[in-house]
């Protein structure tokens, strides 16, 4: 080992922890608000089964596992009857926008989802690409029309400060008060993102994130909610968000 | 992982057993890890590939992203791993033999799924080369040339490992990292040599480095992840730490471990006098 490098490193360690090592320094006390999972709603309308829409794009198994951890059995389906009667509907998605819309059209899911979400008002959560397709359009690999159920356009991230795209990793979100999804989640919570495109603005936005400029992290639009990050991959904060969505679904089904 | 057992690695040559991947993953997850990379390091060499059933068992316990790899040679295999619950596919040897594999995986499943792993080794002549079993070190490709080629092929993320620093706990190869970070236009994860929180802080300080992957240091120590993150935060680096326990009120010693309480205090805890009933 290089002798001078060893000396430098020892000096670094001594300065880094030196004072702490002799117990002289007080570590900065940061209060971490705890994320706790709410009591499972066992009243009428409680959600025991959720339906994950399968349009051949997305980490369906991860989402199913995450719901399983919250005591909810997930059915992965394209069956119109199943989707329209779902107590809670999840629209996952990883991949390209154009392909997603093509797959939905090929599986004749656009009308089915329209009925389930817009007519029957099934509580619905879109995740990542599943959020993007709810928008009016996206310019990913050409201009594509989305479902248009949420106002706004999806655009490519980046191009301003040279940060690498895709936006991959944990990042903090800023959330409005009184949102359904973020109940009980501390203000500066982090979630896991993995995307190259996002909505810059939306009237139904309840949360935003900053990566080379602000973009919409979550929307709430009546029975239709969506998040750009992956709650099924965001440890406690993500679990709490999913639990909040399920509690919302339980209330909708009971009332 | 070798033979289905998580191992500690020393210069890619010696390996010591840790335990079941399912249990390792569960502990890391509960202790607040940001992401887990699971690679079967024997698979390529023995002509096999990582078992999707194993990935499924590990993914079930993961509430964070899981990258899986080891002998992945086709987009179909990548698809099986994704269906089993992996979020990203790690590709190394197969890409060297057939760079179009990365393009296939990126096009089929999205660029963010294609995580290309590059093992860098210093030769006797001081050059750094991409370590690969097929090519002798003398004739090896320069890592940043390879990185750029893989980037063009569609890699969405890179894992850069230093073979020489692996397991030595002497710090990461910052010079190598700086060179590679300059060429990377997609996220870069670096690994090899973490022995102390200062090593992680030094690596994260390099522009273009998105993450540090830590191996040996996280084994055989209770709350290893939480302690490491707590120390990193104490060093001024803003990493996520939202586990229920976080050591923020506890002093940390020079080695990054919790400070030991003095004997009298410990004795008082253990043998507190009982109150008379």
**pLDDT tens, position by position, A223-245:** 999 999 999 999 999 999 999 99
Count of structural domains within chain A: 1
Q: What's B43-78 look like in SS3? A: CCCCCCCCCHHHHHHHHHCCCCCEEEECCCCCHHHH
Domain of B41 in residue numbering reads as 6-215
In a domain, B130, yes or no: yes
| Cis amide bond preceding A135, omega within 30 | no
* Catalytic (active site) residue A128: yes
- The total domain count for chain B is 1
Residues 6 or more apart in contact with residue A67 via CB below 8 angstroms: A50, A52, A73, A74, A90, A242, A246
Q: Which of B87, B119, B164, B166 is catalytic?
A: B119
Burial B101-133 (b: 16+ CB within 10 A, else e): bbbbbbebbbbbbbbbbbbbbbeeeeebbbbbe
Closest approach of B224 to chain A, Cα-based (Å):
17
Q: Is A209 a catalytic residue?
A: no
A88 Cβ neighbours under 8 A, 6+ residues apart: A47, A50, A51, A72, A122, A123, A124, A125, A245, A246, A249
Handedness of CA B83, B84, B90, B95 (dihedral sign): negative
Residue B119 pLDDT: 95
* Rounded average pLDDT over A178-189: 91
* Cβ within 8 Å, pair A17-B82: no
Buried b (16+ CB within 10 A) or exposed e, B195-232: bbbbbbbbbbebebbbbbbbbbbbbeeebbbbbbbbbb
Q: How far apart are CA B30 and CA A40, in angstroms?
A: 21
CATH, residue A240: 3.40.50.880
Confidence tier at A27 by pLDDT (50, 70, 90): very low
- Which residue among A13, A94, A189 sits closest to B196, beta carbon to beta carbon? A13
Q: What is the predicted pLDDT for the residue at B111?
A: 83
CA distance A13 to chain B (A): 6
Instruction: Decide if A169 and B256 are in contact by the 8 Å CB cutoff.
Output: no
pLDDT tens digits, chain B, 277 residues: what are they? 999 999 999 999 999 999 999 999 999 999 999 999 999 999 988 889 999 999 999 999 899 999 999 999 999 999 999 989 999 999 999 999 899 999 999 988 888 889 999 999 998 888 899 998 877 777 789 999 999 999 999 999 999 999 999 999 999 999 999 999 999 989 999 999 999 999 999 999 999 999 999 999 999 888 999 999 988 888 888 899 888 787 766 677 777 777 777 788 777 777 766 655 5
Q: What is the CATH number of the domain that holds B71?
A: 3.20.20.70
Please check whether residue A23 lies inside any domain of the structure. no
CA B91, B92, B93, B94 dihedral sign is positive
How many CB atoms sit inside 10 A of residue A68's CB? 12
* DSSP designation for B9: E
Q: Which of A164, A182, A196, A198 to mutate to test the interface with B (most CBs of B within 10 A)?
A: A164
Q: Which of residues 38-57 of B touch A (CB under 8 A)?
A: 56
Is there a contact between A164 and B82 if contact means CB atoms under 8 Å apart? no
Q: Check residue B111 and report its DSSP letter.
A: G
Q: Using CB atoms, which residue from A170, A189, A237 is nearest to B34? A: A170
Instruction: Answer yes or no: is A143 within a domain.
Output: yes
Enumerate the residues of chain A whose CB falls inside 8 A of the CB of residue B197: 16
Q: Is any Cβ of chain A less than 8 angstroms from the Cβ of B211?
A: yes
Question: B198 — contact with chain A (CB < 8 Å)?
Answer: yes
The contacts of residue B14 (CB under 8 Å, 6+ apart) are B167
For A:183-202, CB contacts with B below 8 A are 186, 189-190, 192, 194-196
Contacts of A195 in chain B (CB under 8 A): 112
DSSP-based three-state secondary structure for B275: coil
pLDDT value at residue A193? 95
Residue A18 lies in a domain: no
Is A34 near chain B, with CB under 8 Å? yes
Contacts of A18 in chain B (CB under 8 A): 254
Task: Give the side-chain half-sphere CA count within 13 A for B158.
Answer: 30
Q: Is the distance from CB of B201 to CB of B232 less than 8 angstroms?
A: yes
Number of C-beta neighbours around residue A41 at 10 A: 17
| A184 located within any domain | yes
Give the integer Cα–Cα distance in Å for A130 and A128: 5
| Residue B272: predicted pLDDT | 64
Q: Does A141 touch chain B (CB under 8 A)?
A: no
Q: C-alpha dihedral over B4, B8, B12, B14, to 10 degrees?
A: -90
**Residue reference for tokens 């057939």:** B98
**Predicted model pTM:** 0.87
A70 and chain B in contact, CB less than 8 A:
no
Distance CA A231, CA B255 (A): 35
Question: Which residues 134-173 in chain B show a CB within 8 A of chain A?
Answer: 156-157, 170-171
A236 touches chain B (CB under 8 A): yes
> Kind of pairing, strands A214-221 and A190-195?
unpaired
User: How many whole angstroms separate alpha carbon A55 and alpha carbon A130?
Assistant: 10
User: In this complex, is the C-beta atom of A24 within 8 Å of any C-beta atom belonging to chain B?
Assistant: no
Mean pLDDT of chain A: 85
Q: Are A190 and B240 an interchain contact pair (Cβ–Cβ within 8 Å)? A: yes
Give the closest residue to B79 by CA, choosing from B98, B97, B106, B54: B106
In a domain, A26, yes or no: no
pLDDT at position A18 over 50: no
**Domain membership flag for residue A227:** yes
Confidence of residue A38 (pLDDT cuts 50, 70, 90): confident
More confident residue, A12 or A249: A249
pLDDT over threshold 90, residue A31: no
Q: Is B122 within the bounds of a domain?
A: yes
Contact B113 A94 (CB under 8 A): yes
Name the residue among A59, A66, A235 with its Cβ closest to that of B82. A59
Structure tokens at B99: 């760079």
CB contact under 8 A, A21 and B259: yes
Residue B129 Ramachandran class (φ > 0 left, ψ -120 to 50 alpha, else beta) = beta
- Phi, psi of B192, deg, nearest 5: 110, 100
3-state secondary structure of B19: strand
- The DSSP result for chain A, as a single string, is --HHHHHHHHHHHHHHHHHHHTT-SPPP--PPPPP-PPPP--STT---EEEEE-SS-S-HHHHHHHHHHTT-EEEEE--HHHHHT-SSEEE---S-HHHHHHHHHHTTHHHHHHIIIIIS---EEEETHHHHTTSSEE-TTS-EE---SSS-EEEE--SSS---SSEEEEEEEEE-TT-STTTT--TT-EEEEEESEEES--TTEEEEEESSSEEEEEEEETTEEEESS-GGGSHHHHHHHHHHHHHHHHHHHH-
CB A192 within 8 A of CB A176: no
Would you state the pLDDT for residue B169? 92
H-type alpha helices, B61-128? 75-84, 93-97, 100-109
Considering only the beta carbons, identify the residue of A25, A168, A186 that sits closest to B157: A168
pLDDT at A32 over 80: no
CA distance A240 to A246: 10
| CB-nearest partner of B171 from A9, A164, A168 | A9
Reported ipTM: the value is 0.86
Q: Cβ contact (<8 Å) for B197 and A16?
A: yes
Residue A168 has pLDDT above 80, yes or no: yes
Residues of A in contact with B29 (CB under 8 A): 235
Residue B272 lies in a domain: no
pLDDT at position A141? 79
pLDDT score of B260:
78
Look up residue B93 and give its two tokens. 């040897």
């Amino acid at each position: 080992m290089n002798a001078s490098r060893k000396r430098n490193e020892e000096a670094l360690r001594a300065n880094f922890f030196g004072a702490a090592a002799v117990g002289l320094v007080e570590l900065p006390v940061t209060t971490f608000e705890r994320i706790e999972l709410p009591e499972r709603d066992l009243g009428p309308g409680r959600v025991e089964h959720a339906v994950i829409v399968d349009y051949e794009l997305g980490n369906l198994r991860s989402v199913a596992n995450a719901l399983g951890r919250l005591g909810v059995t997930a059915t992965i389906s394209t069956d119109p009857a199943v989707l329209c009667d779902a107590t809670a509907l999840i629209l996952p998605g990883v991949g390209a926008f154009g392909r997603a819309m093509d797959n939905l059209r090929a599986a004749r899911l656009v009308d089915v989802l329209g009925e389930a979400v817009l007519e029957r008002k099934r509580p619905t959560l879109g995740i990542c690409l599943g959020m993007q397709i709810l928008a009016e359009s996206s310019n990913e690999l050409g201009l594509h029309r989305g479902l248009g159920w949420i106002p706004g356009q999806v655009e490519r991230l980046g191009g301003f400060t040279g940060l690498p795209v895709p936006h991959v990793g944990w990042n903090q979100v800023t959330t409005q008060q009184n949102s359904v999804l973020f109940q009980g989640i501390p203000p500066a919570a982090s979630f896991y993102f993995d995307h190259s495109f996002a909505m810059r603005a939306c009237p139904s936005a309840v949360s935003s994130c900053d990566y080379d400029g602000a973009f919409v992290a979550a929307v709430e639009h009546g029975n239709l909610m969506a998040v750009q990050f992956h709650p099924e991959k965001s440890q406690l904060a993500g679990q709490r968000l999913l639990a909040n969505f399920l509690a919302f679904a339980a209330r909708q089904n009971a009332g | 992982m070798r033979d289905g057992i998580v191992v500690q690695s020393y210069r890619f040559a010696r390996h010591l057993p840790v335990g079941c991947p399912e249990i390792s993953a569960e502990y890391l997850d509960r202790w607040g890890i940001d992401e887990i990379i699971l690679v079967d390091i024997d698979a390529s060499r023995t002509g096999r590939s990582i078992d999707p059933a194993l990935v499924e068992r590990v993914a079930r316990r993961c509430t964070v992203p899981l990258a899986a790899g080891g002998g992945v040679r086709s987009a179909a295999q990548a698809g099986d791993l994704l269906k089993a619950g992996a979020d990203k596919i790690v590709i190394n040897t197969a890409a060297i033999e057939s760079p179009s594999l990365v393009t296939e995986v990126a096009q089929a499943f999205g660029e963010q799924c294609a995580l290309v792993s590059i093992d860098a080794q210093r030769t006797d002549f001081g050059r750094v080369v991409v370590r690969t079993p097929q090519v002798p070190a003398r004739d090896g490709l320069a890592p940043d040339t390879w990185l750029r080629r893989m980037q063009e092929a569609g890699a969405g993320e890179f894992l850069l490992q230093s073979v020489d620093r692996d397991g030595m706990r002497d710090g990461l190869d910052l010079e190598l990292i700086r060179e590679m970070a300059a060429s990377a236009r997609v996220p870069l994860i670096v690994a090899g040599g973490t022995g102390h929180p200062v090593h992680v802080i030094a690596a994260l300080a390099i522009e273009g480095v998105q993450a540090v992957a830590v191996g040996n240091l996280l084994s055989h120590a209770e709350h290893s992840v939480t302690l490491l993150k707590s120390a990193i935060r104490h060093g001024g680096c803003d990493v996520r730490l939202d586990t229920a326990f976080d050591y923020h009120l506890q002093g940390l010693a020079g080695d990054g471990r919790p400070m030991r309480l003095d004997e009298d205090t410990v004795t008082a805890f253990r043998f507190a006098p009982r109150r008379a009933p």
